[in-house]
Amino acid sequence: MSEPLILSATQGAVRTITLNRPAALNSFTGAMHEQLLAALDAAAGDAAVRAVVVTGAGRGFCAGQDLNDADMRAPDGGAPDIGAVIERRYLPLALRVRSMPVPVIAAVNGVAAGAGANFALGCDFVIAARSAGFIQAFSKIGLVPDCGGTWLLPRLVGRARAIGLAMTGDKLPAEEAQRIGLIWQCVDDAALMEQALALAGRLAALPSRALADTRRALDDAAMLDYGAALQLEARLQRELGRAHDYAEGVAAFLAKRAPVFTDR
Ligand code: T3D
């Protein structure tokens, strides 16, 4: 039997999902997309999972689209419909990550290129090994950044750096990525998984529903005017204020005990 392209493992309330095509730097094939989406759906649907870590097997995180995959070939041998590949594969993946009911951490163990870089950047936290790097490889093959790159890059690092990264396709080392605010943290290679799992454990103990609504509020507010953002905050606080976790958080604070959050 062939190796699964995606591995899932659970430690406590943390689900670790590993991209598992190391010989091709975990580049995306249609089959890997399907297994990855299924693994994310399974994590989202499992009430015992309260944080997700995504990482890569071997020396790379993900080299983006597998440029040899059948997904990329038109049946008649003509030019491929890459727009269809984006709509069928990358759009659902990017939206799935952004709508997870729990925080998602990318533990970037090695090079993250093309859609592999933007898949990582779409996660809530990116922790990268010092030897890792981020490459907007698209310009080198005549494409634009996808998997959310055009939206994410300028918001994360501003237009000047977004344009620079996207047009040159130069590799940005993890340390520099942290310095300019593209990622959360750069850590020593040997400490990557320990640090990612420690952060995931901390997040798992926090109120998941409030964390997911925080992501949503920050993303939506970027497209609203000030008044509308204030209205959105009011609506979310109204809903959260009626939920179990708020009552539990306040009760635990007043009783000077640790809270036990359960909402998702
Ligand atoms: O359908 C669409 O195109 C639309 C979607 C687009 C989204 C995208 O992601 S477009 C961008 C696609 N990705 C790339 O262009 C990156 C291509 N890869 C590289 O530039 C380099 O591999 C890296 C800079 C990422 C790493 O370089 P290096 O020297 O560390 O490794 P390598 O030797 O190039 O790669 C190792 C193996 O992985 C090698 O296979 P081999 O020779 O050992 O059998 C290489 O061919 C394979 N590999 C790496 N990236 C891809 C890949 N195979 C297929 N597709 C890849 N993207």
pLDDT at 76 over 90: no
pLDDT at 1 over 70: no
Nearest residue (by CA) to ligand 1, atom 55, is 66
Nearest residue (by CA) to ligand 1, atom 46, is 24
| 203-213 b/e (C-beta count within 10 Å ≥ 16 → b) | bbebbbbbbbb
Residue 78 confidence (pLDDT): 86
CA of 25 to the centre of ligand 1 (A): 7
Alpha helices in the chain (DSSP H): 30-45, 82-85, 91-98, 115-121, 149-157, 159-168, 174-179, 192-204, 208-221, 226-241, 244-254
pLDDT at 58 over 90: yes
Ligand 1 binding pocket (C-beta < 6 A) is 24-25, 27, 63-68, 72, 82, 85-86, 111, 113-115, 135, 137-138, 141, 143, 146
- Name the CATH superfamily, with its identifier, for domain 6-204: 2-enoyl-CoA Hydratase; Chain A, domain 1 (3.90.226.10)
242: exposed, middle or buried (Cβ count in 10 Å: 0-12, 13-18, 19+): exposed
Condensed to tens digits (0 to 9), the pLDDT of residues 137-186 reads 999 999 999 999 999 999 999 999 999 999 999 999 999 999 999 999 99
Residue 42 confidence (pLDDT): 98
Residue 73 confidence (pLDDT): 78
The model carries a pTM of 0.97
Residues 69-82 have a mean pLDDT of 84
Structural domain boundaries in the chain: 6-204, 208-255
Condensed to tens digits (0 to 9), the pLDDT of residues 90-105 reads 999 999 999 999 999 9
Nearest residue (by CA) to ligand 1, atom 15, is 137
Condensed to tens digits (0 to 9), the pLDDT of residues 3-17 reads 899 999 999 999 999
Condensed to tens digits (0 to 9), the pLDDT of residues 229-258 reads 999 999 999 999 999 999 999 999 999 999
CA of 253 to the centre of ligand 1 (A): 51
pLDDT at 118 over 70: yes
- Pocket test of ligand 1: the residue of 62, 67, 91 to mutate, having most ligand atoms within 8 Å of its CB, is 67
Within 10 A of 3 (CB to CB), how many other CB atoms are there? 9
Cα gap 127→198, rounded to integer Å: 11
Residue 46 confidence (pLDDT): 98
117: exposed, middle or buried (Cβ count in 10 Å: 0-12, 13-18, 19+): buried
pLDDT at 39 over 80: yes
- Unique residue bearing structure tokens 């038109």: 74
Residue 52 confidence (pLDDT): 99
Residue 2 confidence (pLDDT): 83
Q: What residues contact 246, with CB distance under 8 A and at least 6 apart? A: 207, 210, 240
Mean residue pLDDT of the chain comes to: 97
Residues 68-85 have a mean pLDDT of 86
